[in-house]
Chain A
Amino acid sequence: MTKRTALYDFHVKNNGKMVPFAGYMLPIQFKGIKNEVHSVRNDVGIFDVSHMGEIIVKGKRRKEFVDSITTNSVASLKQNQVQYTMMLYENGGIVDDLLVYNFDDRLLLVVNASNIEKDYEWILKNKWDDIEIENISDDTAQIALQGPHAQRTLEKLTDYNLDDIPFYYTVETNVCGIRVILSRTGYTGEDGFEIYFPNNAADKIYPEIMQAGLEFNIESIGLGARDILRLEMRYMLYGNDITKDTTPLEAGLGWAVKIDKSDFIGRQALIEQKEQGIKRRLCAFEMLEKGIPRHDYEIYREHEKVGFVTSGSSSPSVKKFIGLGYVKVPYNKIGNELFIKIRDKMIKALVIKPPFYKNGSHR
């Protein structure tokens, strides 16, 4: 069954091209993917990301519990801080990547739409007796407002001084008179906010933000542009770049793994992988010849297959064809030339230092 977000009718009315994604009908584009990418990089864009999952964790030992199932350090979080982290299987493979919101009475886990059920089951399976878990995904809508003019748009709709929310911090406040969770976070590399609220407020908040953003040329942004914006920043897409068959160390996410914090599921596997040496790494490459790398295309060095593409696209912001892929060490080194097999032709690519887009407004 394909679900609809609270904003479905609104998107249809705004000429959103609706497609099924992760169990939801969502707009893949409105005015065109390239234009939407430019809107977010230069002005401001609004995204319906209500498909994302929200799971509440309560209980006195909630931080210790979430520390036992995630790679990053929850214990080190300041009040109202947000953290990027991962849940792992025992073998080090990734269950999901997620955000942890540290409120004074609870933790909020924001997980990928395609993984909501799997994650919820996984958390329940590993849950401690004194911990309470609630999956509020179906009742919660989420909007992302991203771009250099995101703050100027949003400050018209809230009394909260947005300068008081640093990058990766959150508050509970009012937006358009509705009680929301508001964080300075995002998936684009631009300054911006993510806003969580009950479904029934969606058709009030979304149009009011659109109205407030008119003077800054706000546009509705679909999944197509969202995927390119994140790729230009080398942000991971679960299912493509990271899966149950890849580890955080291979994916270059070691910065979100605090191996010395305390025990967590998957820790032993990561220690062993580190000792044995990492055999392949996710690398960023740009095409030196015409060709768009796409998911699952093979990567070669001379005649030897050395990896596979996990994500790729044409990048409107850097005007190059770009991609990510797992490549056997040591062919993953920056400056190395590789070949992507695109419909039986070997097309030359160069391993580069990420991100692809280096002028993002996020802080």
Chain B
Amino acid sequence: MNIPKELKYRKTHEWVKIDGDTAIQGITDFAQSELSDIAFIELPQIEDKVKAGESCGTIEAVKAVSDLYAALSGEIVETNDKLGSNPEMINESPYTDGWFFKIKISDASEIDNLMNAEEYEKFLAEEH
């Protein structure tokens, strides 16, 4: 299972890459492998305000549908439009081409609640 060292993780299997006061979010290799064959996703819109841990979209995989949770609170400033026609990028490259959206962080203290790669790996081993 691929778990890049430089990213932060949530228990619901999102990753974020923090860059100053913004963060890029996607789902982890584990999540894409569990969902398998993603058919399409519904992302939040630019300027939407999202809240950490709350649903802000849906992921429709061939097998089942799941909520997409925001990892941090803030405002959506960019979304990955390429996923509209190429949702398989999430399965193929969950940490690069398969990113979901960029968020302007409203509460930096939430970052402390996220796991680092080592903690996420341990969490996966314990839970699954």
Residues of chain A touching chain B, judged by Cβ–Cβ distance below 8 Å, are 17, 28-29, 32-34, 224, 228, 290-292, 294, 313-314, 321, 343
Contacts and interface: CB of A to CB of B under 8 A. Distances in A.
Nearest to B63: A224
A87 to B, nearest CB: 30
Nearest to A31: B36
B39 A314 contact: yes
Contacts of B88: 34
B14 to A, nearest CB: 20
Interface string B58-86: 10101101000000000000000000000
Secondary structure at the A interface, as helix, strand, loop or mixed, is: mixed
Contacts of B97: none
A292 B88 CA distance: 16
A345 to B, nearest CB: 10
Interface in B2-50: 36-37, 39-40
Decide if the interface of chain B is mainly helix, strand, loop or mixed.
Answer: mixed
A287 B58 CA distance: 18
A90 B63 CA distance: 35
Contacts of A33: 36-37, 62-63
A292 B39 contact: yes
Given A17-B36, A32-B91, 8 more contacts: A28-B63, A33-B36, A34-B62, A224-B36, A224-B37, A224-B63, A290-B40, A343-B58
B37 A292 contact: no
A96 to B, nearest CB: 25
Nearest to B33: A17
B94 to A, nearest CB: 14
A359 B128 CA distance: 41
A313 B62 contact: yes
Contacts of A314: 37, 39, 60, 62
Nearest to B38: A314
Nearest to B67: A343
B65 A29 contact: no
A240 B88 CA distance: 28
Contacts of A29: 36
17 contacts: A17-B36, A28-B63, A32-B36, A33-B37, A33-B62, A34-B88, A224-B36, A224-B62, A228-B62, A290-B40, A291-B60, A292-B62, A292-B65, A313-B62, A314-B37, A343-B58, A343-B65
